[in-house]
Amino acid sequence: MIPAMQAIVHAIFAESIRAKQMFLEEHADTLIQVARICAETLRQDHKILLFGNGGSAADAQHIAAEFVNRFRIERRPLPALALTTDTSALTSIGNDYGFDFVFSKQVEALAAAGDVAIALSTSGNSPNVLRAIDACGVAGCFVVGLTGGDGGRMRDEVDFLLNVSATTETARVQETHILACHTLCDLIDRILFPDAGSRA
């Protein structure tokens, strides 16, 4: 039993590493471009909106907190908002209009031209995420899409696609998404605060 379990552990780690390595080869330049755009957005006193479902909802909240609180350096809070955290808004919209509208209605209320939206969907086909992307376009937001596999419908609806093409396995896609978002946080801090104190 133990050798079999060890093989499973090694296979999981190998698959995750492979997904991350392929993502790096395909999207390193895109990550840098997105970091520069996000940094300029924040420099101009605009904000970052993040949204997704399930584990992607947790990732949206996680990354919003890295901006608002801190990532690795001491610096001023940066304006970011996860659209997954307001239970009253989510449940009232879901009850009155349906789950497909839980993010788009918030985008309509909170987004402004010049903001950046980070949309997370492991399949690229989540209806509520796609509807919110449409709303972001109407509002004049720059949209970054994080997805997996072939990119789904999101592939053709965002300004920049960060796609984990090596796998459609949700866990492996999300593991790569969080690494990509942590990388964005680090790059944005370095761009905005080049003279900040030592990194933790």
Q: What is the pLDDT of residues 24-33, one digit of tens each?
A: 999 999 999 9
Q: Which domains does the chain have, with CATH numbers?
A: 2-192 (3.40.50.10490)
Other beta carbons within 10 Å of 127? 15
**What is the pLDDT at residue 198?**
53
Dihedral class, residue 149 (left if φ above 0, else alpha if ψ from -120 to 50, else beta) = left
Q: How far apart are CA 47 and CA 115, in angstroms?
A: 5
pLDDT digits (tens, 9 = 90+) for 56-70: 999 999 999 999 999
